Structure 1
Amino acid sequence: MAAGKEIRGKIKSVENTKKITKAMEMVAASKMRKAQERMRAARPYAEKVRSLAANLAQATPEYKHPFMVHNESAKTAGFIIVTTDKGLCGGLNTNLLRATTAKLREVEAAGDKVEAVAIGNKGFGFLNRIGAKVVSHATHLGDRPHLDALIGPVKVLFDAYAEGRLNAVYLCYTRFINTMKQEPVIQQLLPLSAESMVADSKHGWDYLYEPDAPSVINELLMRYSEALVFQAVAENMASEQSARMVAMKSATDNAGNVIGELKLIYNKTRQAAITKELSEIVAGAAAV
Structure 2
Amino acid sequence: DERRMRTAMPFVQPVQQLFERLPREDKPGAMSFLAITSDKGLCGGINSSVAKITRFGVVDEEAKGNTAKVMVMGNKGIGALKRLFGDRFTYSFEECSKQPWGFGAASIIAEQVAATNPARLKLCSNKFRSLVSYETVASDCVTIQEAQSMDKAEFSKAMDVYSFEPSIYEVWTDLHEFYYACVIHGLYLEGVVSEQSARMGAMEN
Whether the 8 Å contact between 1:85 and 1:121 is mirrored in structure 2 is yes
TM-score (norm 1): 0.58
Structure 2, unaligned runs of 5 or more: 151-157
Corresponding residue pairs, total: 192
Structure 1 residue 134: Cα displacement: 1.8
Match of 2:48, SS? Answer: helix
Whether the 8 Å contact between 1:174 and 1:232 is mirrored in structure 2 is yes
Structure 1, unaligned runs of 5 or more: 1-34, 58-67, 195-200, 251-288
Once the two structures are superposed, the pairs formed by residues 80-229 of structure 1 within 5 Å of their partners are 80-132=34-86, 133-142=88-97, 144-161=100-117, 166-191=118-143, 205=161, 207=163, 209-210=165-166, 212-229=167-184
Q: CA RMSD in A?
A: 3.0
Q: Percent identity?
A: 25
Match of 2:116, SS? Answer: helix
Once the two structures are superposed, the pairs formed by residues 26-45 of structure 1 within 5 Å of their partners are 35-45=1-11
The one-character-per-residue Cα deviations of 1:223-265 (angstroms, maximum 9, x if unpaired) are 1221011111010000111112222332xxxxxxxxxxxxxxx
Structure 1 residue 173: Cα displacement: 0.2
Q: Provide the rounded CA distance (Å) in 2 between the counterparts of 1:206 and 1:175.
A: 29
Matched, 1:239 2:194: yes
The one-character-per-residue Cα deviations of 1:190-225 (angstroms, maximum 9, x if unpaired) are 34789xxxxxx9xx7463623x33122332222122
Q: Provide the rounded CA distance (Å) in 2 between the counterparts of 1:78 and 1:208.
A: 29
Query: In 2 relative to 1, CA 206–245 (structure 1 residues): closer, same or farther, beyond 3 Å?
Result: closer
Structure 1 residue 95: Cα displacement: 2.1
Q: Provide the rounded CA distance (Å) in 1 between the counterparts of 2:116 and 2:48.
A: 29
**Segments of 4+ in structure 1 off by > 6 A?**
68-71
Structure 1 residue 118: Cα displacement: 0.9
Query: In 2 relative to 1, CA 136–243 (structure 1 residues): closer, same or farther, beyond 3 Å?
Result: same
Whether the 8 Å contact between 2:107 and 2:178 is mirrored in structure 1 is no
